[in-house]
Amino acid sequence: MLDSNFRTHPSFKDGMNIYMMFVANEGRCPFWVTKWTSQAFLVTAVGDLKGEPPYYGNPVVSGELYSLFHNNERTDTLWKKEDRTISAGTFNWTWLEPVSGMTINGGAHPRPARRHL
């Protein structure tokens, strides 16, 4: 599980899509999400929202996929797996907040500044 690196954001409910999270975060990136048990996705960009909620015209969402596995072994550090775009319109995403001391690729990762709702 990602529990050692993240906690769920207390102001966001499960069942939001990434577009809704982006709007709720005042249109700011980056932010972390997951729908997997051993991976987290850092949303780094969301295309123009041109349409009605909750899908806003399905703009492209891109970012970085991280895994707790490195060289096929589980670690306590997130390792960058790949840059990719994702299907952001599904409602099974969970917003994550990094915890203090979280490490990525073996080094400390700063927590993005964010307004708490």
Structure tokens at 23: 């709007």
In a domain, 1, yes or no: no
Average predicted confidence (pLDDT) for the chain: 76
Assign 20 a pLDDT band (cuts: 50, 70, 90).
very high
Q: Is residue 56 part of a domain?
A: yes
- In whole angstroms, give the CA distance from residue 19 to residue 12: 13
pTM (2 d.p.) = 0.75
What type of residue is 7?
A: R
- Is 64 inside any structural domain? yes
Q: Is the pLDDT of residue 109 over 60?
A: no
Q: Give the count of domains, the chain.
A: 1
pLDDT of residue 22: 93
Q: pLDDT digits over 40-74, tens only?
A: 888 989 999 999 999 999 999 988 888 777 777 77
Share above pLDDT 90 across residues of the chain, in percent, rounded to a whole number: 26
User: Which residues are within 8 A (CB) of 53 and not within 5 positions of it... i.e. 6 or more apart?
Assistant: 19, 20, 23
Give the H/E segment covering residue 22. helix 18-24
Residue 114 included in any domain:
no
Please report whether residue 110 resides in a domain. Answer: no
Partners of 94 in the β-ladder: 34
What single DSSP character describes residue 112? P
* Number of residues in the chain: 117
Q: DSSP letter string over 23-60? A: HHTTT---EEEESSSSEEEEEEEE----SSTTTTT---
pLDDT band for position 94 (cuts 50, 70, 90) = confident
Is 60 within the bounds of a domain? yes
Residue 115 lies in a domain: no
Q: Which domain holds residue 51?
A: 6-105
Mean pLDDT computed over 69-81: 72
Is residue 111 assigned to a domain? no
